Chains A and B, each alone.
Chain A
Amino acid sequence: MVGVAYDCLLNPQGAVRSTFQNAICKASDPAAFDGKDWGVIDLFKQFLYDDVGLSQVPVLNPSSIARLKSNTLVRFRGMIQDMLGNELYVGMYKDGETWRTNKFGDFFQLPMATGSSPDMRVWERRLLYCVPVPGQNSWIEYSSESLLNPSSISSSPPREKRHRDDDTAMDDIDMQVTNEEVHASTSNKKMREDGIASNSSNLGDTPTADIGSATSVLPYFDRTSLPCLVKIYDSPESDLKLNDVFEFIGVLTFDPECSVDKNVDNDFLGNLGDDDTETQMPPTKVPRLHCLIHKKLSNQDFISGSPTLELKSHLVKEMRETLLRHLTTILGNDGVAANLMLLHLLSKVHARVDSTAVGKLSLNLTCFNKETLSVYGHRLNLALKNLLPFTHCVPLTVDYLNKIPLAPKKNYQTNRLVSGILQLAEGSHLTIDETQLQEGRLNPIGLENARVLQSLLEQQKVEYDFTYYKMDMPADIQLLVLSEGKSNILPADLVLPFRPLSVDAVQDVEIEVLQSWRWYLATMRSLSHSITQEMQKVVEDDLVAARQADRSLGSLDFSRFLTMGRLVSLSFGETTLNLEHWQMAKELERLRKERL
Chain B
Amino acid sequence: MASDSSPVNARGGKCTASLLSSARMFSIFLSRVFLRKNLKCTGPSTPDDSISSPIGNTYSSPGDSARRKRGRRSASSTPVAPSNRRFTTPEATPTPSSTNPRRGGRRTSSNTPTGAATPSYASDVPPSSEGGEGDDADDTPPMYVWGTNISVQDVNAAILRFLRNFREDPSQTEGKYMRAVHNVIEMEGDSLDVDAHDVFDYDGDLYTKMVRFPLEVLAIFDIVLMDMVSRINPLFEKHIQARIFNLKTSTSMRNLNPSDIEKMVSLKGMIIRCSAIIPEIREAVFRCLVCGYYSDPIVVDRGRISEPTICGKQECLARNSMTLVHNRCRFADKQIVRVQETPDEIPEGGTPHTVSLLMHDKLVDVGKPGDRVEVTGIYRAMSVRIGSAHRTVKSLFKTYIDCLHLKKTDKSRMHAEDPMEIENGAVGNDEPLDHEEKVEKLKELSKQPDIYERLTKSLAPNIWELDDVKKGLLCQLFGGNALTLPSGASFRGDINILLVGDPGTSKSQLLQYIHKLSPRGIYTSGRGSSAVGLTAYVAKDPETGETVLESGALVLSDRGICCIDEFDKMSDSARSMLHEVMEQQTVSIAKAGIIASLNARTSVLACANPIGSRYNPRLSVIDNIHLPPTLLSRFDLIYLILDKADEQTDRRLAKHIVALHFENPENSEQEVIDLPTLASYLSYARNHIHPQLSDEAAEELTRGYVEMRRRGNFPGSSKKVITATPRQLESLIRLGEGLARIRFSEKVEKRDVVEAFRLLEVALQQSATDHATGTIDMDLITTGVSASERMRRENLVSTTRNIIMEKMQLGGPSTRLLELLEDVKKQNSGGDVHLADLRNALATLATEGLVVVHGDTVKRI
List residues of A whose CB falls within 8 A of some B CB. 31, 34, 82-83, 85-90, 93, 102, 107-113, 115-118, 120-124, 237-238, 241-244, 261, 263-269, 271-273, 275, 278, 351-356, 358-359, 410, 412-413, 415, 417, 466-469, 471, 473-474, 529-531, 536, 539-540, 543-544, 547-548, 551, 554-555, 558-559, 562-563, 566, 577
Contact = CB atoms under 8 A, between A and B. Distances in A.
10 contacts: A88-B396, A88-B397, A107-B395, A121-B258, A122-B261, A267-B303, A353-B660, A410-B351, A412-B338, A466-B340
B21 to A, nearest CB: 13
Interface stretch (B438-446, B651-659, B730-738, B750-758): B651-659
A113 B657 CA distance: 68
A540 B381 CA distance: 62
B209 interface: no
A167 to B, nearest CB: 25
Given A112-B102, A531-B658, A558-B653, A268 B382 contact: yes
Contact of A555 (B382, B647, B657): B657
A264 B385 contact: yes
Given A85-B354, A112-B102, 17 more contacts: A83-B351, A86-B254, A112-B392, A122-B381, A241-B348, A242-B351, A263-B388, A264-B386, A267-B302, A353-B462, A469-B342, A471-B352, A531-B661, A539-B658, A543-B650, A555-B656, A562-B657
B660 A358 contact: yes
Contact of A122 (B94, B100, B461): B94
Given A269-B336, A469-B343, A118 B350 contact: no
Contact of B102 (A83, A113, A539): A113
B258 A124 contact: yes
A529 B662 contact: yes
Nearest to B349: A241
B356 interface: yes
A117 B393 CA distance: 12
Given A468-B270, A548-B647, A242 B395 contact: no
Contact of A85 (B353, B504, B660): B353
Contact of B396 (A107, A263, A551): A107
Given A107-B396, A241-B350, A551 B643 contact: yes
B338 to A, nearest CB: 6
A111 B662 CA distance: 62
A85 B336 CA distance: 18
Contacts of A31: 91-92
B393 A415 contact: no
A354 to B, nearest CB: 4
Interface stretch (B78-86, B322-330, B466-474): B78-86
Contact of A271 (B98, B278, B658): B278
B650 A122 contact: no
B394 interface: yes
A435 B394 CA distance: 55
For the complex of A and B, 4 pairs with smallest distance between CB atoms? A241-B349, A261-B387, A543-B654, A90-B395
A83 to B, nearest CB: 5
A243 to B, nearest CB: 7
Contacts of A531: 658, 661-662
Interface in B87-102: 91-92, 94-96, 98, 100, 102
Contacts of B257: 86, 124
Nearest to B668: A353
B347 interface: yes
A439 B107 CA distance: 71
Given A267-B303, A269-B382, A353-B665, A237 B347 contact: yes
A268 B394 contact: no
Contacts of A417: 351
Q: Contact size class for B?
A: 35 or more
A268 B303 contact: yes
Contacts of B653: 543, 547, 555, 558
A269 B396 contact: no
B384 interface: yes
Contacts, number: 236
Nearest to A259: B387
B179 interface: no
B349 A115 contact: no
Contacts of A543: 650, 653-654, 657-658
A116 B80 contact: yes
Given A31-B91, A531-B658, A269 B356 contact: yes
B37 interface: no
Nearest to A557: B657
Most chain A beta carbons < 10 A, residue from B356, B370, B393: B393
Interface in B254-303: 254, 256-258, 261, 270, 272-273, 275-276, 278, 302-303
B400 interface: yes
Contacts of B454: none
B103 interface: yes
Most chain B beta carbons < 10 A, residue from A82, A268, A554: A268
Nearest to A123: B258
Contacts of A467: 272
Contacts of B303: 267-268
Nearest to A83: B351
B409 interface: no
Nearest to A128: B351
Nearest to B97: A116
Nearest to B411: A468
A116 B95 contact: yes
A50 to B, nearest CB: 31
Contacts of B80: 116-118
B273 A412 contact: yes
B146 to A, nearest CB: 12
Contacts of B92: 31
Given A115-B100, A548-B647, A243 B400 contact: no
B100 A273 contact: no
Contact of B654 (A110, A278, A539): A539
A243 B651 contact: no
Contacts of B356: 269, 272
A271 B343 contact: no
Nearest to A566: B661
A85 B396 CA distance: 14
B257 to A, nearest CB: 6
B791 interface: no
B383 interface: yes
B346 interface: yes
Contacts of B807: none
Nearest to A260: B387
Interface in B631-655: 643, 645, 647, 650-651, 653-655
B591 interface: no
Contacts of B370: 468
B688 interface: no
Given A412-B273, A466-B352, A548-B645, A102 B655 contact: no
